[in-house]
């Protein structure tokens, strides 16, 4: 499972550029599914038939895309300008990026020695930053990158602390990994697993996939904010690391169906799997789009708590991840939620 | 040893000022490949002695520092997060940075960045204050306290990698690239005739005020001092008059810290052998080991050679390998030009 997370998080796939991640997932799941479709935006929909006589259609969704940068201009001196997809500009300075999966670059800032004292308290706007790829001129840079190329952080996935891992893109490759693991088992209902594109660009991919699938219920799997860190008041902890998968009641994009929330809680309690309720209403995810498809779909959201999402490196508890896999499997095996 | 291999080997080591032993050990081993004798003093300065035998005059001392910028642990909270203080760092580079905490055990840590979803409106336009940042070791408080204490040092995790062409990027190239220049000079000297006794010193505690160079210069008692450091490279956000251009050769320092005749000798050698160089005018304190070398004992005529480096004191310091190699070659040629009682030592 850790090797799966390592491969998934170290593959680059900014919103709009999910191809590498999709190809990787296709290979991983092909032995376990009956059919795969890639739609016009690049969503990968995998179908796994259920064993029940009258199976329901269960849509599971995790997004493949991650936050990142897109190259917008090549300067005369060979530096690159960029647009930002889903990142706080304050985490960009002094970071490494990989452009188009092959050209390394850095986001630098002039040395502290060359700054005036008050500059150090001022935010450098993303518009004023540039990526240095070691090119000495525009021509040299043009030989290496093209406008519209995507860039993302180069963080290595590795162990940190006690039973935790550090990686980029855990939002939402953690969700992708959960669904890959879930697909290895068998269930009564038909599973339509959507590995979605462009969640970070505004939940763009999941809607068209849900329309195509027209499911009876939908469940989004996320790597969600874990804010049990200094600077956050305890009542603002959206989730706590190590306390199990987080079940959402409401967030900015959707209300969860009470039936599904109760079904998840029952599955967790019957199997003795620890779980927690997501305690803040911030953030949104693909469930918001699935819920409003066709005549409306009952949805739920289950998340693996992840600290520092949308930054170069995030931290996740491996046990939380494993418990999320177990919870989804238990929930699906019961098959009761749709009846 | 290839210069990039050298940097790959020494740059990933941790050695904040005052805690250079790790680096010192490895540098001493590498110096042994090229020098006649290698010694390490009480400050962990590494001195490699090299000569062709015979007269051994004058004595030339080179200095480039091994220490790097970093941070110190200032507190451990009840959930195991560390508060910390930086030394010579721009706090704006810190969020999202991976670090190594050097406690009783070396631990991987992450300086947490608050996700946009949890920020208050307008927060993204305020610079993060180092006081509001914490290092996450992904461990419980009890475990953290087993390994970490207030005062432990912290360094960045950012190994050196190749970029396009001859460009490289990574942490602590300031000033281990200067040590690489010395290694290059050692290699070049093997192909030259020279009368000098050369003492290559990888110094410590430069970032605290060249403490290592101070005691080492006193100890080595050189006739000529050559400090090797990095200087600011050209970037779009930095003033042109304060930077040198990457790939256009080493910078030769000019100003009160530098001996005028020796400095001209250095430039003459560059011209004679067709090595590109950039004059760098420094009005006062050069911020390098040259500052203390010049006034050690009864005074040491000192020159300064610097290699252009972008984004100094960050995790993405960026350089051109050719500048490092050319600096080494120029210095070796300069050394080979020095004669006993050379008139250029006079004022």
Helix (H, G, I), strand (E, B) or coil at B337: helix
Residue that wins the pLDDT comparison between B215 and B347: B215
CA distance A111 to chain B (A): 5
The CATH number of the domain holding residue A221 is 3.40.630.10
Select from B119, B134, B313 the Cβ nearest to the Cβ of A229: B134
pLDDT at residue A234, as a whole number: 78
Residues B319, B167 contacting (CB under 8 angstroms): yes
B74-78, B126-130, B283-287, range with the lowest pLDDT: B126-130
| CA–CA gap between residue A8 and residue A25 (Å, rounded) | 8
- The residue with tokens 């739920």 is A300
Distance from CA of A45 to the nearest CA of B (A): 28
Which range, of A20-24, A85-89, A186-190, B103-107, averages the lowest pLDDT? Answer: A85-89
d(CA A107, CA A89): 11
On whether any CB of chain A is under 8 Å from the CB of B255, the answer is: no
The closest alpha carbon to A178, from A122, A131, A223, A234, belongs to A223
Q: Are residues A218 and A266 in the same domain?
A: yes
Q: CB contact, 8 Å: B137 with chain A?
A: yes
In a domain, A223, yes or no: yes
Q: Domain check: are A90 and A46 in the same one?
A: no
pLDDT tens digits along B176-201: 999 999 999 999 999 999 999 999 99
Q: How far is the alpha carbon of A321 from chain B, nearest alpha carbon, in Å?
A: 15
Domain boundary among A153, A184, A200: A153
Q: Which residues of B are known catalytic residues?
A: 206
B41 close contact with A: CB closer than 8 A:
no
Residue of chain A with shortest Cα separation from B319: A134
Collapse the DSSP code of A6 into the 3-class scheme (helix H, G, I; strand E, B; otherwise coil) and give the result: helix
Confidence of residue A337 (pLDDT cuts 50, 70, 90): low
Asked if residue A97 and residue A53 are part of one domain, the reply reads no
**Domain co-membership, A187 together with A319:** yes
Instruction: Judge whether residue B4 has pLDDT over 80.
Output: yes
- Its pTM stands at 0.92
Distance from CA of A233 to the nearest CA of B (A): 11
Judge whether A309 and B115 are in contact, CB under 8 Å. yes
Q: For A96, phi and psi rounded to 5 degrees?
A: -95, 145
Average pLDDT over chain A, rounded to an integer = 94
Do residues A57 and A197 both lie within one domain?
yes
pLDDT given for residue A232 in this prediction: 79
Which band of pLDDT confidence, cut at 50, 70 and 90, is reported for residue B310?
very high
pLDDT (0 to 100) of residue A285: 93
Over 80: is that where the pLDDT of A330 sits? yes
Q: Which of A95, A130, A153 is the last residue of a domain?
A: A153
Last residue of a domain, one of A120, A153, A186: A153
| Tens of pLDDT, residues B84-97 | 999 889 999 999 99
Dig out the tokens for B174 from the structure. 């300031």
- Cross-chain residue pair A158–B139, CB shorter than 8 Å: no
Asked if the model's pLDDT at residue B296 lies above 80, the reply is: yes
Indicate if A60 and A201 belong to the same structural domain: yes
List, for residues A258-283, the tens digit of each pLDDT value: 999 999 999 999 999 999 999 888 88
pLDDT band for position B55 (cuts 50, 70, 90) = low
Same domain, A60 and A89: no
- Measured between beta carbons, the chain B residues lying within 8 angstroms of A158 are 108
Please check whether residues A174 and A249 belong to one and the same domain: yes
CB pairs below 8 Å between A and B: how many?
A: 213
pLDDT for B248 equals 97
Q: Is the pLDDT of residue A233 over 90?
A: no
Task: Determine the pLDDT at residue A59.
Answer: 97
Return the percentage of chain B with pLDDT > 70, whole number: 99
Residue A288 backbone phi and psi in degrees, to 5: -60, -35
DSSP letters, A266-296, are HHHHHHT---EE--------THHHHHTSTT-
Do A215 and A91 belong to one domain? no
State whether A62 and A73 are in the same domain: no
- For residue B31, pLDDT over 80 is answered with yes
B273 pLDDT higher than 80: yes
Chain A's closest residue to B161, CA to CA, is A104
> Does A160 reside within a domain?
no
Classify residue A339: in a domain, yes or no. no
Closest of B97, B335, B59 to residue B223, by C-alpha: B59
**Are A219 and A260 spatial neighbours (Cβ–Cβ below 8 Å)?**
yes
pLDDT at site B87: 83
Contacts of A151 (CB under 8 A, 6+ apart): A14, A68, A69, A70, A71, A82, A97, A98, A99, A100, A105, A131
pLDDT higher than threshold 60 for residue A33: yes
For A165, the closest chain B residue by CA position comes to B138
The partner residue sitting opposite B318, judged by closest CB among A103, A106, A225, is: A106
Residue-range domains of chain B with CATH: 3-68+171-345 (3.40.630.10), 70-156 (2.40.30.40)
Pick the catalytic residue from A18, A66, A199, A330.
A199
CA distance A257 to A255: 6
Contact A111/B136, CB-based, under 8 Å?
A: no
Q: Which residues of A touch B306 (CB under 8 A)?
A: none
CA-only gyration radius of chain A, Å: 21
Whole-number CA gyration radius for chain B: 21
Option in B88, B127, B243 nearest A121 (CB): B127
Residue-averaged pLDDT of chain B? 94
Between A254 and A329, name the one with better pLDDT: A329
Mean pLDDT of A241-255: 93
**Does residue A14 sit within a domain?**
yes
What per-residue confidence (pLDDT) applies to A1? 72
- When pLDDT is averaged across residues B141-162 and rounded to a whole number, the result is 96
Closest residue to B314, CB basis, from A108, A128, A136: A108
Please indicate, yes or no, whether residues A91 and A202 belong to a single structural domain of this protein. Answer: no
Best of B77, B117, B166, B286 to disrupt the A interface by mutation (most A CBs within 10 Å)? B117
Kindly state whether B8 is in contact with chain A, defined as any CB-CB distance less than 8 angstroms: no
Domain that residue A86 falls in: 68-153
pLDDT value of position A214: 96
Longest dimension (CA), chain B: 74
CA distance B34 to chain A (A): 31
B81 contacts chain A (CB < 8 A): yes
Residue of A nearest to B117 (CA): A283
- For residue A334, give how far its alpha carbon lies from the nearest alpha carbon of chain B (Å): 34
Let me know if residue A159 belongs to a domain: no
**Separation of alpha carbons A142 and A73, rounded Å:** 10
Phi-psi map region of A223: left, alpha, beta (phi>0 left; psi -120 to 50 alpha): beta
Give the closest residue to A211 by CA, choosing from A304, A288, A294, A305.
A294
Q: Please check whether residue A280 lies inside any domain of the structure.
A: yes
pLDDT at B341: 78
Residue identified by tokens 């810290």 is B257
Structural domain contains residue A273:
yes
A-chain CB neighbours of B232 within 8 Å are 110-111, 113-114
Secondary structure letter of residue A122 according to DSSP:
B
Q: Classify residue A246: in a domain, yes or no.
A: yes
A181 & A129 share domain: no
pLDDT on residue A336: 56
Nearest neighbour of B96 by CB, restricted to A105, A115, A312:
A312
Report the side by side order of strands in the sheet with B197-203: B37-40, B46-50, B197-203, B59-65, B224-232, B302-309, B251-254, B278-281
Distance CA B210, CA B45 (A): 11
CB B74 within 8 A of CB B150: yes
Counted domains in chain A:
2
Least confident of A322-336, B55-69, B111-125: B111-125
Read off the CATH number of the domain in which A146 is found. Answer: 2.40.30.40
Where does residue A159 fall: left (phi above 0), alpha (psi -120 to 50 degrees), or beta otherwise?
beta
Residue A255 pLDDT exceeds 70 = yes
Cα-based angle A89, A106, A310 (whole degrees, multiple of 5): 35
pLDDT band at A235 (very low <50, low <70, confident <90, very high): confident
Nearest to B20 by CA among B228, B142, B187, B179: B179
């Amino acid at each position: 499972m850790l090797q799966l997370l390592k491969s998934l998080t170290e593959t680059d796939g900014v919103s709009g550029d999910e191809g590498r991640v999709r190809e990787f997932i296709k290979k991983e799941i092909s032995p376990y599914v009956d059919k795969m479709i890639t739609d016009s935006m690049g969503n990968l929909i995998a179908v796994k038939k259920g064993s029940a006589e009258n199976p329901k259609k269960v849509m599971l969704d995790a997004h493949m895309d991650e936050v990142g940068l897109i190259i917008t201009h090549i300067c005369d001196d060979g530096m690159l300008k960029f647009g930002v997809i889903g990142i706080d500009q304050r985490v960009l300075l002094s970071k490494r990026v990989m452009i188009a999966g092959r050209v390394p670059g850095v986001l630098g800032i002039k040395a502290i020695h060359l700054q005036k004292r008050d500059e150090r308290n001022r935010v450098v706007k993303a518009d004023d930053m540039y990526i240095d790829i070691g090119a000495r001129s525009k021509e040299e840079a043009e030989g290496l990158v093209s406008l519209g190329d995507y860039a993302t952080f180069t963080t290595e996935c590795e162990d940190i602390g006690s039973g935790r891992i550090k990686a980029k893109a855990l939002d939402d490759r953690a969700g992708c990994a959960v669904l890959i693991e879930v697909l290895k088992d068998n269930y009564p209902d038909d599973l339509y697993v959507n590995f979605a594109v462009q969640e970070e660009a505004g939940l763009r991919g999941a809607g068209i996939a849900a329309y195509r699938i027209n499911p009876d219920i939908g469940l989004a799997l996320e790597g969600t904010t874990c804010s049990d860190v200094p600077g956050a008041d305890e009542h603002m902890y959206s989730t706590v690391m190590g306390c199990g998968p987080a079940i959402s009641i409401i967030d900015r994009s959707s209300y969860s169906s009470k039936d599904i929330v109760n079904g998840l809680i029952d599955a967790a309690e019957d199997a003795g799997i620890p779980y927690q309720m997501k305690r803040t209403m911030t953030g949104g995810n693909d469930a918001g789009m699935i819920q409003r498809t066709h005549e409306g779909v009952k949805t739920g959201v289950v998340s693996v708590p992840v600290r520092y999402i949308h930054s170069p490196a995030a931290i996740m508890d491996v046990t939380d991840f494993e418990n999320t896999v177990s919870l989804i499997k238990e929930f699906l095996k019961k098959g009761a939620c749709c009846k | 040893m290839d210069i990039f291999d050298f940097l790959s080997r020494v740059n990933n080591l941790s050695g904040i000022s005052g805690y250079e032993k790790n680096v010192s050990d490895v540098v001493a081993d590498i110096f042994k490949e090229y020098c006649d004798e290698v010694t390490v003093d009480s400050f962990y300065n590494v001195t490699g002695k090299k000569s062709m035998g015979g007269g051994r005059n004058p004595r030339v001392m080179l200095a480039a520092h091994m220490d790097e910028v970093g941070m110190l642990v200032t507190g451990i909270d009840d959930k195991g997060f560390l508060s910390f203080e930086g030394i010579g760092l721009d706090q704006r580079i810190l969020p999202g940075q991976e670090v190594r905490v050097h406690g009783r055990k070396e631990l991987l840590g992450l300086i947490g960045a608050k996700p946009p979803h949890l920020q208050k409106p307008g927060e993204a336009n305020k610079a993060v204050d180092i006081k509001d940042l914490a290092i996450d070791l992904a461990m419980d408080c009890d475990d953290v306290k087993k390994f970490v204490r207030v005062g432990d040092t912290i360094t960045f995790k950012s190994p050196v990698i190749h970029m396009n062409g001859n460009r490289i990027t990574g942490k602590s190239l300031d000033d281990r690239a200067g040590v690489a220049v010395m290694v290059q000079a050692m290699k070049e000297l093997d192909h030259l005739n020279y009368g000098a006794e050369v003492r290559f010193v990888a110094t410590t505690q430069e970032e605290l005020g060249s403490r290592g160079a101070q005691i080492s210069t006193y100890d080595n008692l050189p006739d000529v001092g050559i400090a090797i450091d990095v200087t600011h490279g050209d970037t779009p956000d930095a003033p042109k008059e304060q930077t040198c251009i990457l790939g256009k050769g080493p910078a030769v320092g000019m100003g009160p810290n530098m001996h005028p005749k020796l400095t001209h000798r250095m430039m003459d050698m560059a011209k004679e052998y067709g090595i590109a160089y950039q004059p760098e005018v420094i009005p006062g304190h050069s911020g390098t080991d040259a500052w203390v070398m010049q006034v050690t004992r009864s005074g040491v005529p000192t020159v300064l050679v610097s290699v252009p480096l972008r984004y100094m004191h960050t995790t993405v310091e960026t350089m051109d390998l050719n500048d490092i190699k050319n600096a080494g070659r120029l210095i070796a040629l300069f050394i080979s030009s020095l004669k006993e009682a050379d008139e250029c030592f006079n004022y």
